[in-house]
Amino acid sequence: MPVQRPDARPTREEAEDAVRTLLRWAGDDPHREGLLDTPSRVARAYQDWFRGYNEDPDAMLQRTFEEVEGYDEMVVLRDIRFESYCEHHMAPIIGKAHVGYIPTDRVVGISKLARLVDAYAKRLQVQEKMNAQIAQTLFTVLKPKGVAVVLEGEHHCMSTRGVHKPGVSMVTSTMLGSFRDDPSTRKEFLNIIGNPTNRLS
C-alpha cells in the first residue's frame, strides 16, 4: 500500500469523516436521522462551492473574436453576482463584480468574463487577492489597452460573527494599463458601473 503524501487530496470518504468529526465537535450526533446524509451532502456542496480549483481561468479567455469593425472603446460587464468563501473563516462572501477592458484587436464573449469571475470566486479567497487575480488574468491573456475590476462584497465572517455588522460592503479595485494611467478613462468606467464609493458616502 503506497504511503500517502501529507499534501495529497483526501478521498471522498475522508472528507465525509471530517464532517462527522465537526458535527460531533459542534455537540451533535452525526448518527441521528437528520444528520445521517449530511456528510455526503456537505462533500457534494464543497465540490460546487470550490469548483474553481478545477478550472483554468487562462483557458476560458482563449477563444476571442477579431471581427469587431475596429471597435476600440470600453467593454464593461457590471453587476456580476459572485459567491466566494473567506479563507480565514470559510464564511461566505456574497457580492458583485464589475469588469471592464479596452480591447486592442480582439474581444472575448461576455459570458467568459462572468466565468472568469467565478473561476476565482469558487475558491477560498480574500477579496483583494481575488480582485487582482481577475484583473491580471484578463490583462495577461487578452493584452488589452487596459483593465478595470471593482468588487463589492458582504463578508459573512463580519456580518454573522465577530462584530455582527450586516449590510456592510467591502469595495476593492484593480486598475491596469489605461485605466491606471488615464484619470478620465478610470472616471468613465466608475460612472458606468455607478461608482460604488459614492454609494458608501
Q: Residue 157, annotated ligand binder?
A: yes
- C-alpha separations of 51 from 46, 169, 172 in Å: 8, 25, 23
Q: Tell me, what's the pLDDT at 7?
A: 74
Q: What is the pLDDT of residue 201?
A: 38
CATH architecture, domain defined by 12-49: Orthogonal Bundle (1.10)
146 burial via Cβ count (<10 Å: 0-12, 13-18, 19+): buried
**pLDDT at res. 195:** 66
List active site positions: 86-89, 127, 155, 157
Establish whether 31 is an annotated binding residue.
Answer: no
What's the confidence (pLDDT) of residue 40?
98
| CATH number, domain 59-193, options 3.40.50.620, 3.30.1130.10, 3.40.50.2020, 1.10.10.10 | 3.30.1130.10
The verdict on whether residue 98 carries a ligand-binding annotation is no
Asked if the domains 12-49 and 59-193 are classified in one and the same CATH topology, the answer is: no
Q: Where are the domains of the chain?
A: 12-49, 59-193
Q: What pTM, to 2 d.p., does this model score? A: 0.89
**Nine-digit cell string for 59:** 483557458
How many Å separate Cα 175 from the centre of its chain? 17
* pLDDT score recorded for residue 200: 41
Q: Which residues of the chain have pLDDT under 70?
A: 1-6, 195-201
Grid coordinates representing 174 are: 484593480
